[in-house]
Amino acid sequence: MKGPGNFVSTADHRAERILRQELQHGRPDYGFLMEESGASPGSDPEHRWIVDPLDGTTNFLHGLPHFCISIALERAGEIVAGVVLDPIMDELFWAEKGVGAYLNDRRLRVSSRRQLSHALIATGTPYDPGQRARFLRQVDSVMDIVANVRHMGAAALDLAYVAAGRLDGYWEYGLSAWDVAAGMLLVREAGGYISDPESGGDPLASGNVLAANDHLHAGLQAALARAA
């Protein structure tokens, strides 16, 4: 256990070692930011990989087939490429800045829904017990205006599903860079809008994320603000 409700498995460590070896083989000069081993600079200061070797560890440990690998490439502080792999469904979500977002070989676009009352929204439960009261207020506020809310347990896949139009929106607070880096680019390259729900700034820096299409984002942001 890394904290209350926050687990790490042998699979996390093994997957991280394999990913590091393969990525280092392909780009030996790049640095790393990895969930289990942290940051390690490379000889190339402009590039680093941001890696979550197993997003959805709790699902994995319970045999729930909803987890993924997330890898993003950061260049000079900007995410320029990302992949989210769901090995159970054999789905590879990938994006490159200016090229678009794809599921395997199919171009992705975010949902085109304009009415929050028809929207399916996802969220994630905070680990910090001190944040739970606000989280429950947020769920209540959002559920008042949308069709329903889901909690699926893998942030990177939630963002990939927003990019694919399977979810109309997603919010969560207190995430790490490896949770959001690849998914953030997927959403943007699929035509969606992603920001910090409070400041409107960079979710990669704050760890607070609100993603949706440009018709729904403002309404969801207002619902979360009412629950602050």
* Residue at which a domain ends, from 62, 84, 107: 107
Asked if 152 and 217 sit in the same domain, the reply is yes
End-to-end CA distance of the chain: 30
Bridge partners, residue 94, by sequence: 83, 102
Q: Is the pLDDT of residue 8 over 80?
A: no
Asked if 128 and 153 sit in the same domain, the reply is yes
Asked if 36 and 66 sit in the same domain, the reply is yes
Rounded to whole angstroms, the Cα distance separating 96 from 20 reads 21
Q: Are 160 and 93 in contact (CB under 8 A)?
A: yes
For residue 47, being part of any structural domain is answered with yes
Residue type, 175: L
Q: Identify the domain containing residue 36 by its residue range.
A: 10-107
* Residue at which a domain ends, from 107, 139, 166: 107
The pLDDT value recorded for residue 100 is 98
Query: Which run of H or of E encompasses 8?
Result: none
Q: What is the mean pLDDT of residues 50-74?
A: 95
The pLDDT value recorded for residue 34 is 94
Rounded to whole angstroms, the Cα distance separating 207 from 33 reads 15
- Check: pTM over 0.85? Answer yes or no: yes
Give how far the C-alpha of residue 70 lies from the chain's centroid of Cα atoms, to the nearest Å: 8
pLDDT (tens digit, 9 = 90+) per residue, 159-212? 999 999 999 999 999 999 999 999 999 999 999 999 999 988 999 999 999 999
Rounded to whole angstroms, the Cα distance separating 212 from 195 reads 9
Q: What is the mean pLDDT of residues 200-228?
A: 95
